[in-house]
Structure 1
């Protein structure tokens, strides 16, 4: 059994900081994974932010069959386990099929259920059965109050681990997503830590014809707006989004990420202080 990375996954944020899930959409190479993991760890560590590195070994829901999907499960999990060991950070990856859950759980700390699959009962049960933390992303088609059913499926499994819930926007007509900020208090009713995926929320599905587009310039505005309502943030980050294998148009630039984290910490701490004040006055 591998060594555990110290982290309270039931309450991953601290009194002074939200927790951060960040990394490139898909594993592009071992070298690139090390570059991104070390850079992001340093940015988070310098600010006292609990950090989970994320990247996918396979992107099974790409728009086109010709799009890059990643190195596959065996090679990808080997890279993620190496990142985890070398940098001492927890690691998150997507799972798309039930039989991927147990092998992935041997290499990573958090299994993520993609938004399109948030109602897939067998997948949820298999992920929960590993005992690992599960990050359940709200489907673009789902009302926020209906995500509780997915949470209940996960928590029905004996020995399940902590569950997180993530908002990533809702479909609005064709080719656009909208974040309803009323979603956050509804998600909080699940009793799970609430995460905002600020980068997938600016996707433009199918906008490039062969791939999904995005409005990268909107990421900071949405993240700042959500800062007082969430426990954690999810960002896809890349050193050169124009060359990213997946989700480049909606990836945050690495060189700009530290400044955004500084802004979010100020807003998050102000919101947390106000919430504690309100609670004390009741």
Structure 2
């Protein structure tokens, strides 16, 4: 997993917002694997087994822990790629870490000590990485407290990657402060940009979250130019049919061009740093 630690190459966490079925997961992961291999971009496939913070109780949440991990294991076995998924409760940490290479702590839950500690213990036990989304309500430098919690358990911070995903900007809106990338990097860990969730309009559709798909490439390019070490992006073959966050995800066919542009921007702005 060393390819995700800070070095002179862009890395990419990309995939589906939520698992819908096995065939869609395999289709998306295979396409992104081929794309990133051609571009020499280190890649991990991302997909959630449960969306626990949906706006409406009637919204699709995913296949659940057991079925979701089965699908992810199939993707891993057939395509031989690293996986990333998020967990929401401490009891999920160990079973998730048995399958998934990068354990993601959601933004809304990044201050939950029990979850952070359980994730850290599982990451240490199975030699996994931890991708922490900075909460929309947190200052970037306050991420140090999260790093300290993980370090207290693991004894080091080398397994941590922080993620900038935007900050609350009044009601139903987010804004990205590009200086946050620099500020979090000063804590000594790599930083990614979640350009997909950064363009959300939280609760903007009353019972679901809205989004500004056109803004995803803009945020991603700006963040990479500002020094981000990696990008977090969500795609779907048919975004209008996606069961979660369709307004914020990109068409799968747009991945090759966007990732090439991001790689080129990275190579230009990170020379001789």
From 68, 83, 88, the equivalent of 1:91 is 83
* Aligned residue number for residue 234 of structure 1: 232
Match of 2:28 among 21, 32, 36: 36
* Correspondence for 1:135: 131
Q: 1:9 to 1:124 in 2, by over 3 A?
A: farther
CA distance in structure 2 between the aligned counterparts of 1:148 and 1:9, rounded to whole angstroms: 23
Q: How does 1:158-169 map to 2 (within 5 A)?
A: 158=154, 162-169=159-166
Q: For structure 1, which runs of at least 5 residues remain unmatched after alignment?
A: 1-6, 277-282
Residues paired across the two proteins, number: 267
Q: SS of the residue aligned with 2:130?
A: strand
Q: Is contact 1:9-1:162 (8 Å) kept?
A: no
Query: What are the Cα deviations for residues 249-276 of structure 1, in whole angstroms up to 9, with x where unaligned?
Result: 0001111121111111111001110x52
| Selected match of 2:262 from 238, 261, 264 | 264
- Taking a change above 3 Å as real, the CA distance of residues 262 and 158 of structure 1, as seen in their structure-2 partners, is closer
Q: Distance in 2 between matches of 1:121 and 1:189?
A: 23
Q: 1:239 to 1:123 in 2, by over 3 A?
A: same
Match of 1:115 among 101, 107, 117: 107
Contact 1:91–1:110 (8 Å) recurs in 2: yes
Unaligned runs of 5+ in 2: none
Q: C-alpha displacement at 1:14, in angstroms?
A: 5.2
8 A Cα contact 2:4 2:11, kept in partner? no
Deviation, structure 1 residue 133:
0.8
| Secondary structure at the counterpart of residue 157 of structure 1 | helix
Native 8 Å contact 2:18 2:47 kept in 1: yes
Distance (whole Å) between structure 2 residues aligned to residue 206 and residue 23 of structure 1: 23
**Counterpart for residue 145 of structure 1:** 141
The alpha-carbon deviation at position 10 of structure 1 amounts to: 5.7
Counterparts of 2:37 and 2:3 in 1: how far apart (Å)?
17
The alpha carbon displacement at 1:81 in A equals 1.1
Q: 1:159 & 1:10 partners in 2: Cα distance?
A: 19
For the pair 1:155 / 2:151, whether they are aligned, the reply is yes
CA contact (8 A) 1:21 1:233 kept: yes
Q: Does 2:12 align with 1:8?
A: no
Q: Say what the alpha-carbon RMSD is for the aligned residues.
A: 1.3
